[in-house]
Amino acid sequence: MPKRILSKLLFILSLSVTPLSLSYAHEPSNPAAVGDVRLLVKGSGLILHGKVAKVVYVNGSQEVGRPVPHAFVTYDISEVLFPKTDVERQSITLRFVGGPDGQGRFLDVVGVPKFMEGDEDILFVAGNGENGCPIVMCEFGRYRVLDGLVYEAHGSPVAKISTRRIVTNGIGPPQLEKFEFPAPTFDELMKNPSAQRALKKMGLSMDEARKKFEAEAPKVIKLTEGVSGRLPTPRLGMKSDGVLATLRQAIGLMQLPTPERIVDADPGKPFFLPNTVENRPLK
């Protein structure tokens, strides 16, 4: 195999995606719950509007049998909509299952959102570490903001909102289909048995392979994820000011107990897999 395609091969290997089963599904048990403002609010311990300041990927404890990647996502908070006791909060770090595993593979969990620095969102937060996704109904509790307009987690525009329901319809802008994450280093990729076997077949020395990889491999992996919708062309979502105003009104109409404060997840501390994750080996 020609040496000139080494970096291309390693790049392909770095795109390996491993599915992982969770006890919660891609769709909620009650599809009518999607966009139900009362359920979103009542299930939340924190409702915020903010931007992703940082994403750190860490493998979970190996005491369960194998490491599982998690993303620690830190938000700079523009506004806390709920609870009033947390209005002075300026940031929060949330933990989500999924991400690079440190061996050139990416764990993509169906139904769990992926995040990049600079993402702007309205989040309905519930817990933080109790399961693999600290958002009410997981992806259905994330509303994305782009250029001051609001879309659901996959980019479908918010077409209408009341104090009872958020309605989305159609395909949003292509920017919301894009995702990127740090490419593996050569040493990380060499932990992957598939990459080791490929390198052996090429007959290259480790030093030769390292030099070509470090010279030619990308620094980030860029992906495009398709967004489904009923309209053939992209459309714009509602203005975030109007969506936030309606959510404030909806919250004000409810009698809500003060929830226990959501604690920041710390990527520097050991953590274990949530009970919702099946203990299956990464492939």
Residue 226 — very low, low, confident or very high, per pLDDT cuts 50/70/90?
low
Task: Say whether pLDDT at 273 is over 70.
Answer: no
Position 27 scores a pLDDT of 56
The encoded tokens of residue 11 equal 């790049």
As a whole number of Å, the end-to-end CA separation of the chain is 25
Position 215 scores a pLDDT of 84
pLDDT in tens, 6-50: 554 555 454 444 444 444 444 566 788 999 999 999 999 999 999
Position 22 scores a pLDDT of 41
In the chain, the largest separation of any two C-alpha atoms, in whole Å, equals 69
pLDDT in tens, 86-133: 999 999 999 999 888 877 788 888 889 999 999 999 999 998 988 889
DSSP letter for each residue of 179-237: EEEEPPPHHHHTTSHHHHHHHHHHT--HHHHHHHHHHHS-SEEEEE-----SSSSB---
The angle subtended at Cα 55 by Cα 51 and Cα 60, nearest 5°, is 140
The angle subtended at Cα 152 by Cα 85 and Cα 171, nearest 5°, is 165
